[in-house]
Amino acid sequence: MSDESSTHGASSAVPTQKDVARLAGVSPVTVSRTLSGGSNVAPELQVRVIEAARQLDYLPNENARGLRPGQQSNLIGVAITNLNNPFYGKFAIGVEEVAREKGRFILFGSTEESATREHELVSNFLGRRVEGLIVIPASDPAPRQWMRRLGPVPLVTAAREIEGLDTDRVLMDDAAMAQRATTDLLGRGHTRIAFLGNIDQVSAHRALCEEFRRVMGEAGVAVDPMLVRSVTDEVVDGAAQTDGFLRLPNPPTALIAATNRIAVGVLQVYGRRLDAGAAGLHLPALSMFGDLELADLLRVRVLAYSSDPREFGRTAAQTLFDRLEGRVHGPSRRLVVPLA
Amino acid sequence: MSDESSTHGASSAVPTQKDVARLAGVSPVTVSRTLSGGSNVAPELQVRVIEAARQLDYLPNENARGLRPGQQSNLIGVAITNLNNPFYGKFAIGVEEVAREKGRFILFGSTEESATREHELVSNFLGRRVEGLIVIPASDPAPRQWMRRLGPVPLVTAAREIEGLDTDRVLMDDAAMAQRATTDLLGRGHTRIAFLGNIDQVSAHRALCEEFRRVMGEAGVAVDPMLVRSVTDEVVDGAAQTDGFLRLPNPPTALIAATNRIAVGVLQVYGRRLDAGAAGLHLPALSMFGDLELADLLRVRVLAYSSDPREFGRTAAQTLFDRLEGRVHGPSRRLVVPLA
DNA sequence: GTGAAAGCGCTAACAA
DNA sequence: TTGTTAGCGCTTTCAC
């Protein structure tokens, strides 16, 4: 009474080329040749092979296939830091799109900002002989042993620049974003502008913050040290620090959030205040870096400055394939994706 | 002057077990044994092997390893329909978390609602000998040939129920969501309630819409056929149909959007109207099914009804591992994840 | 046009 | 404890 044909029934062993050959009455080589183009195989035999394969629901073992020298795995390894950030979800779409166009498949993992997990993931990806890697480096500053194991596998890092890491890398135009955000706020008459940075995104944070200070300085506006803070890239931390800002005797009139997640934290605090009856006008104007889909529908006006995340993913993938397909040689490249 | 040690320099061939063995002055088996636990290997040899492996940056070839009978690939295939929907991004997080706990890695792809792409992806995943599959079925109704190729590989479908597909499946509580949404709106005095369904999500849409009609009927409120429409799961289509509703001589006072994407389309239209000076009160109240992070911060009040997407992903993965680890046998299961 | 043989990198079974 | 042998599923010589 067991349900042998059911989805999860243990049917007999997975059919191999040999099984197909036997059923078709040919040798395994003929099967291989038929299924990979069919050159030098009599049409009649091809028909028999194809029929046999269909009948057995045969599926070539890609792992065995990739074992032969000179064969590619058709695999790309992608490690991001945090799928919870919709920016990286969209980034992954962009990568996926390009990979599909190129006939590649994706090994995917999230590091959750941990260097250990990054090591685990990348090592495994390399063990599976990925043809290339796209990595958003974890903010965990531990040394990256896996870099030495890359061998000939091209690596593209994205979104963050890690000191001492000389790889092809795709970055957002942090300077332009910070410059625009700061200028826009100054233009609206703000002078007490708080900067809520991300302690994690080492390189990006520094660039954003430096540019903020530079523009402020150029405009002759002093930056209150109390108003420059860094938190981890978590909603709760953004919220906590926002509360801190609002409790200051002389709170800021505008606030720049370095990331998507942090901005959501800010907005949650704003939401609570509004629900408690606060007037929107008394809350600091909010600008942010990153992607916030409904930004223009919020009860609070939010200005978002960002590259298009999907385009960002596409660029990262294109950069990888430039190497893979030999269009680019030589020293590593540093690409900056312009603002959307 | 070529930069041999650079990241993308073509270093010599990838080292194999044999290379390590040679360098350590032992046989390949000793390397294998050492690296997989080290039972029955003299401590001294182990040291030599490990040192040699480190020196060569050796990484075992996981594909070759998985080729041996009785070995697992440690790979799970995950195919979703649309990474653009943050719901599925969070779903993927949930799956990833569980996979990591179980020491599995993820082959990932997006079908973009195309049955062809779904076939491509799943076939390739199976060819790479994934141990299990998690699939959000594409709405494309074309027959699923790949189902017959599963063999012993367990499959869990999620979010949508496909007719004639007898698999383990994880679903949202559509009836409860629709029931609550409709009841809540009726309780607020609305009677002209529009239903903006998703033409794609075959099973889910039907369940949602049926429950909507049922609750309306039970409350003795007539459903205006003009106010029940289906669109594809795209922001633009949601927006277009919303425009349609608003132009009716007798527009609805409330609107239920079947998905996240559709609701965003509605909100975009609302945003434009508000910017053009319309009063929020004149826009239909909006309820939706799915996940909208900033729902309570919008200028328009939105009621969102949904399961927690991450929990949803975790449940799907757990259901898969229940089969993989032999905790569950027999006929396929249908799990409904309760509302968040 | 077809098949036999060899070998990709690895590990289980068997010998020493 | 160590090494030799064999074979996983596939494709690339090379011979017929």
Q: Are A107 and A132 in contact (CB under 8 A)?
A: no
Nearest by CB to B127, from A7, A59, A264: name it: A59
- For A122-131, letters b (16+ CB in 10 Å) and e give bbbbbbbbbb
Top pLDDT among B317 and B282 is at B317
Q: What is the pLDDT of residues B215-269, one digit of tens each?
A: 999 999 999 999 999 998 889 999 999 999 999 999 999 999 998 889 999 999 9
Listed in sequence order, the DSSP H helices in chain B are: 17-24, 28-35, 43-56, 62-67, 86-101, 115-127, 174-187, 202-218, 235-247, 260-275, 309-324
Q: Is A337 left (phi over 0), alpha (psi -120 to 50) or beta?
A: beta
Nucleotides of D under 7 A from a protein CB: 1-5, 7-13
Closest to A142 (Cα-Cα) out of A119, A126, A161: A119
- Closest residue to C8 measured CA to C1′: A68
Strand C lies under 7 A from the Cβ of residue B27: no
Pairing state between β B132-135 and B285-289: unpaired
Q: Which residues of chain A have pLDDT under 50?
A: 1-11
A120, containing H or E segment: helix A115-127
Neighbours of A237 (CB within 10 A): 19
- For A28-66, letters b (16+ CB in 10 Å) and e give eebbbbbbeeeeebeeebbebbbebbeebbbbbbbbbbb
Listed in sequence order, the DSSP H helices in B115-222 are: 115-127, 174-187, 202-218
The token pair that represents A195 in the structure block: 């900067």
Nucleotides of C under 7 A from a protein CB: 1-5, 7-13
Collect all residues of chain B within an 8 Å Cβ-Cβ radius of residue A299: 297-299
Distance between B55 CA and the closest CA of chain A, angstroms: 10
- CB < 8 Å from B in window 176-235 of A: none
Q: What is the pLDDT of residues A81-128, one digit of tens each?
A: 987 777 888 899 899 999 999 999 999 999 988 999 999 999 999 999
Report chain A's C-alpha Rg in angstroms: 26
pLDDT of B299: 81
Distance in angstroms (rounded) separating the CA atoms of residues B272 and B276: 6
Q: What is the pLDDT of residues B246-261, one digit of tens each?
A: 999 999 999 999 988 8
List B110's β-bridge partners, or say none.
B80
Determine the distance between B62 (CA) and C6 (C1') in angstroms: 22
The token pair that represents B131 in the structure block: 């141990």
Pairing state between β A155-158 and A168-172: parallel
pLDDT of B202: 64
Distance in angstroms (rounded) separating the CA atoms of residues A152 and A134: 14
Q: Is A1 on the interface with B (CB under 8 A)?
A: no
Collect all residues of chain A within an 8 Å Cβ-Cβ radius of residue B92: 83, 89, 108
Pairing state between β A105-110 and B105-110: antiparallel
Q: Is A147 on the interface with B (CB under 8 A)?
A: yes
Answer positive or negative: Cα dihedral of B210, B229, B266, B113.
positive
Nearest by CB to A7, from B11, B78, B155: name it: B155
Q: Say whether B10 and A152 touch across the interface (CB within 8 A).
A: yes
* pTM check: above 0.85: yes
